[in-house]
Copies of this chain bind each other. A is one copy, B any other.
Amino acid sequence: MTEVSNQTPLSDDELRDMDCYWQASNYLAAGMIYLRENPLLREPLKPEHIKNRLLGHWGSSPGQSFVLTHLNRVIKARDLNMIYLSGPGHGAPASLAHAYLEGHYSEVYPDCAENEDGMRRFFKRFSFPGGVGSHCTPETPGSIHEGGELGYSLSHAFGAAFDNPDLIVALTVGDGEAETGPLATSWHSNKFLNPIRDGVVLPVLHLNGYKIANPAVLARIPEEELEMLFKGYGWKPYFVSGDDPALMHRKMAAVLDQCLDDIAAIQKHARDNDDPARPRWPMIVLRSPKGWTGPKEVHGHKVEGTWRAHQVPVTDAATDRKSLQIVEEWLRSYAPQTLFDEQGKLIESLRALAPQGTRRISANPHANGGVLCKALDMADFREFALEVKTPAASYTSPTEVLGRFLCDVMRRNMSNFRVFGPDETASNKLTAIYDASGKTWVADFEPDDADGGYLAPEGRVMEMLSEHTLEGWLEGYLLTGRHGFFASYEAFVHVIDSMFNQHAKWLEKSKKELSWRLPVPSLNLLITSLVWRQDHNGFTHQDPGFLDVVTNKSPDVVRIYLPPDANCLLSVADHCLRSRDYVNVIVADKQPHLQYLDMDQAIVHCTKGIGIWDWASTDQGCAPDVVMACAGDIATMEALAATQLLREHFPELKVRFVNVVDVYRLMPSDDHPHGLSDRDFDSLFTTDKPVIFNFHSYATLVHKLTYRRKNHANFHVHGYRERGNINTPLELAIINGVDRFTLAIDAIDRVPKLHGIGDHAKEWLRGEIIAHQAHAYREGIDSEEIRDWTWSS
Contacts and interface: CB of A to CB of B under 8 A. Distances in A.
A149 B445 CA distance: 27
Interface stretch (A114-122, A402-410, A446-454): A446-454
Nearest to A775: B129
Nearest to A439: B214
Nearest to A543: B501
Given A129-B777, A180-B185, A181-B182, A148 B541 contact: yes
Nearest to A700: B704
Contacts of A215: 441, 443, 446, 449, 453, 455
A217 B181 contact: no
Contact of A508 (B132, B497, B722): B722
A782 interface: yes
A589 interface: no
Given A55-B781, A451-B301, A781-B55, A552 B543 contact: yes
Contact of A726 (B128, B182, B234, B427): B128
Contacts of A305: 448
Contacts of A49: none
B783 A53 contact: yes
Contacts of A265: none
**Interface bin, chain A:** 35 or more
Interface in A398-427: 423-427
Contacts of A491: 148-149, 498, 501
A780 interface: yes
Contacts of A149: 491-492, 495, 540
Interface string A420-443: 000111110000000000010101
Contact of A469 (B129, B181, B308, B502): B181
Interface string A490-508: 0110110110011001001
Contacts of A216: 465
Given A307-B453, A537-B148, A129 B181 contact: no
Interface in A470-525: 491-492, 494-495, 497-498, 501-502, 505, 508-509
A464 interface: yes
Interface string A229-240: 111111000000
Contacts of A135: 537-538, 540
Contacts of A137: 538-540
Contact of A444 (B220, B228, B549, B701): B220
Interface in A184-214: 184-186, 188, 191, 209, 211-214
A453 B214 contact: yes
Given A129-B731, A782-B52, A181 B151 contact: yes
A222 B722 CA distance: 44
Contact of A707 (B56, B127, B452, B712): B712
Nearest to A725: B133
A401 to B, nearest CB: 20
B146 A540 contact: yes
Given A182-B181, A231-B232, A783-B53, A465 B176 contact: yes
B228 A780 contact: no
B700 A130 contact: no
A148 B425 CA distance: 19
A129 B728 contact: yes
A548 interface: yes
Nearest to A225: B232
Interface string A32-63: 00001000000000000001110110000000
A329 interface: no
Contact of A552 (B234, B439, B443, B545): B545
A505 to B, nearest CB: 5
Nearest to A538: B133
A131 interface: yes
Interface in A141-186: 146, 148-151, 176-177, 179-186
Contacts of A539: 133, 137, 148, 505, 508-509
A781 B131 CA distance: 11
A16 interface: no
B36 A780 contact: yes
Contacts of A508: 539, 722
A554 interface: yes
A463 interface: yes
A350 interface: no
A779 interface: yes
A750 interface: no
Contacts of A301: 451
A549 B497 CA distance: 10
Among A307, A308, A445, A548, residue most surrounded by chain B Cβ atoms (within 10 Å): A548
9 contacts: A129-B726, A133-B539, A179-B465, A191-B221, A211-B465, A214-B423, A215-B453, A228-B228, A306-B448
Interface of A: 36, 51-53, 55-56, 90, 124, 127-135, 137, 146, 148-151, 176-177, 179-186, 188, 191, 209, 211-217, 220-222, 225-234, 301-302, 305-308, 423-427, 439, 441, 443-446, 448-449, 451-453, 455, 463-469, 491-492, 494-495, 497-498, 501-502, 505, 508-509, 535-541, 543, 545, 548-549, 551-554, 698, 700-701, 703-704, 707, 712, 722, 725-728, 731, 776-777, 779-783
Given A90-B536, A302-B451, 16 more contacts: A53-B780, A56-B536, A129-B726, A137-B540, A149-B492, A151-B495, A176-B465, A180-B465, A181-B181, A181-B184, A213-B452, A216-B465, A221-B444, A226-B232, A502-B540, A505-B540
